[in-house]
Amino acid sequence: MPGEAEAKLFNAALVSLVEHGITPNAMATRLTHLGAPESLQSAVAAGLLGLGSRFVGTIEGAARFVTGGAARLTADGALDDALDDAAVRAEAERIVADFRARGEHVPGIGHPIHEPVDPRAEVLFEIAEAEGFPTLPVRLVRAVAAAGSEASGRALPVNVTGAIGTVVALLGLDWRIARGLGVISRTVGLVGHLREELARPMATTLWRTTDEAATRHIHGAGA
């Protein structure tokens, strides 16, 4: 069973990802509900099917590189707090270089809205520090964000999925189930969207507005 500190960090990680606004996942849920209002679970499932490499699934990628990087840094028996910043920075640069060599974005860093920091990530890190968790995973993911920013020439803060991936490492969970934390969180959020859809519907507006935009050239040509 989790201790009090583990439960607090785990719960905070789940809560931080519940709601993301009118994302493609939320729109898929709302539109599916419009077509099949008798099947709430199908509407939620429709939204969950879109959780992948761009939305939520980056938790898995971040958990994998943080877990692997921390294991390499401590492979010779070095303690977390004993590792100097140069060693952590070197590992972070190696991680970033590997992703760039494959032409892939580094998961868990960068955000189109939250700059220069993602406040959700910072709160999770503050909880981890206050509860006495090891410092290495957080130091490493911050170093990866710094290395990624330097390599790309853009500000790429640790985002919330990167922070949750780090929480996975801090809790000693298998990185292969990391995306499941996002599935749990977003399920709650999508049910909330359906509750809102029942009270203040927008699915029909989304459908008709999109249809109008997609066929405007046809109507214009006919005129």
Q: Examine the pLDDT at 223 and tell me if it is beyond 70.
A: no
Alpha helix (H) ranges present in the chain? 4-16, 24-35, 40-48, 58-73, 85-101, 119-130, 136-152, 160-170, 178-199, 203-222
Is the pLDDT confidence value at 53 over 90? no
Higher per-residue pLDDT: 64 or 53: 64
| pLDDT of res. 221 | 62
Q: Quote the pLDDT of residue 145.
A: 97
pLDDT confidence tier of residue 195, bands split at 50, 70 and 90: very high
Match 């719960």 to its residue by tokens. Answer: 11
CA–CA distances in Å: residue 63 to residues 15, 42, 53, 72, 216: 18, 29, 13, 14, 45
For 112-147, how does the pLDDT look when each residue is reduced to its tens digit (9 = 90+)? 677 788 999 999 999 999 999 999 999 999 999 999
Q: How far apart are the first and last CA of the chain?
A: 69
Place of tokens 């707090």: 81
DSSP code at position 200: S
Tell me the two tokens of residue 60. 């898995």
Can you give the pLDDT at residue 92?
A: 97
How far is 6 from 164, CA to CA, in rounded Å?
A: 13
Looking at the domain assignment, is residue 46 inside a domain?
Answer: yes
Q: Which of 183, 149, 151 is nearest to 164 (CA)?
A: 183
pLDDT of residue 13: 97
Check residue 112 and give its pLDDT: 67
pLDDT in the model for residue 64: 97
For the chain, the domain total comes to 1
Does the pLDDT value for residue 222 go beyond 60? no
List the structure tokens of 217. Answer: 């050239």
What is the pLDDT of the chain when averaged over all its residues?
93
- The CATH number that applies at residue 164 is 1.10.230.10
Is the model more confident about 101 or about 77? 101
Q: Residues with Cβ < 8 Å from 169, sequence gap 6 or more?
A: 63, 66, 67, 70, 137, 175
**170 located within any domain:** yes
Instruction: Say if 158 falls within a structural domain.
Output: yes
Residue 85's SS3 state is helix
* Contact call for residues 204 and 31 (beta carbons, < 8 A): no
Domain, as residue range, for 209 = 4-215
Residue 220 lies in a domain: no
Residue 222 lies in a domain: no
